[in-house]
Structure 1
């Protein structure tokens, strides 16, 4: 079964937390990961928390949203950094991939460590750019706190299957602009798990997370390897002993936090382009304009500092260069015309929980009407995807621009459990959500049901 809802207006920034706490619901903070793409971010936070609400209820303590720690032990342990044999980003990526593959085949000295820098499983532009740029900076000695004593190889990891990269045309476009050949990148499924486990046991494997601050369930076995976290999503409180831990959910793009670490931890980012070159600047800039919506969405002083360092701000307004990049990247990201329904679901998908408590959320950059026009059987395809993933509940969130140029958001809720589906929709449409009321003076999420015609829902 499927229920369709159209969000007519945004909710509040602090949605979800108080109502969920009041109802004894454990709302995983990480569910807010999907929200950076659109203007109505806060309302969608609530929707994501709601998905959790109907699949898992327990008491919960909410953690602070912003932490920055550098342990003294971590500083001592990470006093030196490995140097890349080339200052060129493309050369570094090729060398690091070749080195990592040799490393994982056991073709490196026993006293050498492998440091993987990995973004999240949705792999948007911010996730890919932050992993690549942070790894590059670490490789040329700019982040000594993250690299242990001795011989070390630093390698960025793209956290999706290689064949799924083409589903993310904005990422493909960004990499091409920066002169990055995807053949020179390491994709997580290419890493042999058996060898990683061996290295984990021998303490030869280290992991730095960007754009997320807790590993997903399927990768949680790597938790003991985490030495660093740089992220802009709500803090889950994981890896408190990491040598470097920077988590601030107020920041618009993770790349702004990464850039700050690349120049030594200060807010003066002026040296970025001169130190790291135009390729790195192009990667950071792509994530910046997309995640902040050209400085008009979620955007802080640090995001604007990155914009000024890259020449993307003229006073307080986006420069022509920034606007041009935003247009091209947005068009690439939103073009799903050639994708099947299954590919649209995989394009930006996250899964939470296990077993009966599992659910998935896919962000699809087109309207429900357009999706149905492209595939009249899209609801069946969503159901098949949910069944394959073993999900009792799956949501699709839709972002698009209407014919009048206005930004819109839609949501569809799917479940084989009629009671679960009805309860979720009733909760979403309730008029008195306390968290929304506190922030906006109106407790409603302003949802309206949409009829997209027969055969689709």
Structure 2
């Protein structure tokens, strides 16, 4: 078996494949891409899966693509911290800004952390050959693809590890100009970060599945650093992730944002790592926060906007949820959502400080197991009936 490259050299090789003139480019190009929120789980899953599959038979180059523009990568501060632990920087990653104009027939696509291509990549939907995901099955990826894993799990990375652990262990022990164990450790730290972040260090009992602790054990075994401490690693990543003090509200709303077109209507959901109390205080009042959110909804042309938050006041995990109908159809969808969302165990937040009594409501959500993976399908169902 031929030697593999270091993780950094692999990313450089992937970049070269995209910058090679079309006439000299080997087709089709094979991509691995996460969802458009481009969170830590999506970004990391694409890198880990692409690296392992590239150096496993039949040794086809898999290009990990971050599903966001280059300028937005700076907002993923937690990914910057994780990359640093692996000796990498954000500039090593490939983004939508690096994607040349390609004939869809000259591409193949593997989806991780989602199972339906959206946005600017939607044109490639007919070229999907597989997916690994832990969200609701949108039935967009054919049942006949070579690999189709769609099942509940705390982190998509755990499913990636489950699917690649044998291939990973079988990788060549030779690395060009480096040590295989060092590269395995770098890759393991990237993988471990997303699982710990998504499962709150395996303590989110409602989210954790059997494959999550199994993946953590597999990855930890590849870390040789004698001073590495998993709990400290999680704390360090969380501290960076939850610090949004330097961001303006437009950046907060787009930092972890997903958008859907449903029955000709547009739904956008932003997720924040700080609760409504923090956001209202940062804005200088409820009205100012709503003004900033309104500007964002207008920029995106939304029919329904939602803002979801997670926070840990006094070490208590909380979820907050705001839903806002912005058009006549959107307002009707919000009214239907109120009935569909009973399972979320919603209670009015802040004595209605963010409500308008009809089209916009903010709640504390007591069903802590329901993240965007569960809330988005309810909102989309409400939109379908418009």
- The bucket for the TM-score relative to the shorter chain is 0.7 to 0.9
Q: Which residue of 2 aligns with 1:3?
A: none
1:308 is the counterpart of 2:224: no
How well do the aligned residues superpose, as a CA RMSD in angstroms?
3.3
The 8 Å contact of residues 356 and 391 in structure 1, kept in 2 or not, is answered as no
Q: Which residue of 1 aligns with 2:135?
A: 233
Q: 1:217 to 1:182 in 2, by over 3 A?
A: closer
Cα distance in 2 for residues equivalent to 1:133 and 1:253: 13
Q: Which residue of 2 aligns with 1:118?
A: 33
Q: Which residue of 2 aligns with 1:362?
A: 270
1:410 is the counterpart of 2:326: no
1:288 is the counterpart of 2:188: no
Q: Which residue of 2 aligns with 1:17?
A: none
- Count the aligned residue pairs: 341
The 8 Å contact of residues 351 and 359 in structure 1, kept in 2 or not, is answered as yes
1:186 is the counterpart of 2:94: yes
* Cα deviation digits, residues 259-299 of structure 1 (max 9, x gap): 12223379x99x99959611100111001111121111222
Q: Pick from 128, 137, 145 the counterpart of residue 242 of structure 1.
A: 145
Cα distance in 2 for residues equivalent to 1:325 and 1:231: 25
Q: 1:218 to 1:309 in 2, by over 3 A?
A: same
RCO higher in structure (CA 8 A, sep ≥6): 1
Matches within 5 A, 1:37-436: 86-102=4-20, 105-109=21-25, 112-141=27-56, 144=58, 152-192=60-100, 195-197=101-103, 200=104, 203-237=105-139, 238-249=141-152, 251-264=153-166, 277-297=184-204, 298-311=207-220, 321-353=229-261, 357-376=265-284, 377-402=288-313, 404-417=314-327, 420-421=330-331, 424=334, 428=338, 433=342, 436=343
Most deviating of 218-227 and 409-418? 409-418
The 8 Å contact of residues 117 and 135 in structure 1, kept in 2 or not, is answered as yes
Unaligned runs of 5+ in 1: 1-82, 313-318, 437-443
Q: 1:108 to 1:431 in 2, by over 3 A?
A: closer
Does the residue aligned with 2:235 lie in a helix, a strand or coil?
helix
Q: 1:453 to 1:96 in 2, by over 3 A?
A: same
- Aligned-pair CA distance for 1:87: 2.8
The 8 Å contact of residues 209 and 228 in structure 1, kept in 2 or not, is answered as yes
The TM-score normalised by the length of structure 2 is: 0.78
* Cα deviation digits, residues 299-336 of structure 1 (max 9, x gap): 22221111112338xxxxxx982211111111111111
* Cα deviation digits, residues 180-214 of structure 1 (max 9, x gap): 2222221013313xx312xx2xx331111111111
- Aligned-pair CA distance for 1:452: 7.5
